[in-house]
A = this chain, B = another copy of it.
């Protein structure tokens, strides 16, 4: 691995001081911001995430705030998910598509009020698309990036840790719901969500100045829970089938190809910009789709570019994320596979950098 050069353009977060003090070893860049990828080792971090509780600097999940009388209309223009039933206090995972039905982002939308939303974005400058649409349609909305930085608390002991800092009522937050809580006199939105399957919360920290006090309070309160600084874990997120925008899907893919058809209500999502383009695929289904693929052999190297998947002479797909799973004792991966070869049990060949390997389409993801 090479080094990463610091510059202002790669933005620090309100929690960067804590991350550095905890001995971060590697980063990626996400929405022009540092996102830690490893503290002790990917495997040690993985074990700990499944046993204890971690604090994650996911400030890079920047918010696009939409506010004003046309906020709801604009939100529905962005996604094929029908938002009519969504209430303030709810979070929705929303595929965002362009006029061709291509994925622009796969954020979590947070409905603060009828006329106010945050879109908690994956790695693309969605702000530009939303601003362009709002301007082109002359909508009465404000669209901006507020000073809000999510902090993740993930792992089986997350409820215990959070209750110590925010009180027992955090335990009552239901999945993909949020509530308002106080920390040092400041209001914070806390949602039960996060980029792991180990359970936990995301705290939407408004105002960078309160970032380190909160980080320190959580670290202090969780000392006997073995709380540690952590980060989205490559192995765990592949086991769980959590897609990563830019890795497992791009603008070339429809939501249906990404297995996100259940988040699309293309018939009733009136106003969605990509609706015309998606109506047919919503009925007929996609020609290729994301599948879990178990890859044989020794632990795979890092998947830094798509690996071709073949059957006989034919290319039938590609692997876009892969890692060796200690718990499942196989290489777990996320692949986009053509429908002719996507049935569970299908034997395929994955062309890893170190040579071809046998692989098998799985019934479902591992977690």
Contacts and interface: CB of A to CB of B under 8 A. Distances in A.
Contacts of A129: 128-129, 131-132
A174 interface: no
A128 B135 contact: no
A2 B24 contact: yes
B5 A246 contact: no
B2 A3 contact: yes
A244 interface: yes
Given A128-B124, A136-B136, A246 B4 contact: no
Interface string A17-56: 0000000111111001000011000000000000000000
Given A124-B128, A135-B133, A246-B32, A303 B25 contact: no
A302 B135 contact: no
Contacts of A3: 1-4, 25-27, 38
Contact of A124 (B38, B125, B321): B125
Contacts of A303: 7-8
A27 B26 CA distance: 13
Contacts of A38: 3, 5
Contacts of A7: 28, 244, 247, 302-304, 321
Contact of A1 (B6, B132, B246, B304): B6
A82 interface: no
B246 A9 contact: yes
Most chain B CB atoms below 10 A, which of A3, A127, A303 = A3
A137 B132 CA distance: 10
A237 to B, nearest CB: 11
B128 A126 contact: yes
Contact of A25 (B2, B24, B130): B2
A9 B128 contact: no
Nearest to A130: B132
Contacts of A125: 124-125, 128
A236 interface: no
Interface string A137-176: 1000000000000000000000000000000000000000
A61 interface: no
Given A3-B25, A4-B26, A7-B28, A104 B133 contact: no
A27 B8 contact: no
Interface string A271-297: 001000000000000000000000000
26 contacts: A1-B3, A1-B4, A2-B4, A3-B25, A3-B27, A4-B28, A5-B27, A7-B302, A8-B246, A8-B306, A8-B321, A9-B123, A9-B244, A10-B304, A12-B304, A98-B131, A98-B135, A104-B128, A125-B125, A125-B128, A128-B129, A129-B129, A129-B132, A135-B136, A135-B273, A136-B137
Given A9-B246, A10-B304, A130-B132, 8 more contacts: A2-B25, A7-B304, A9-B123, A10-B29, A104-B128, A124-B128, A127-B128, A132-B132
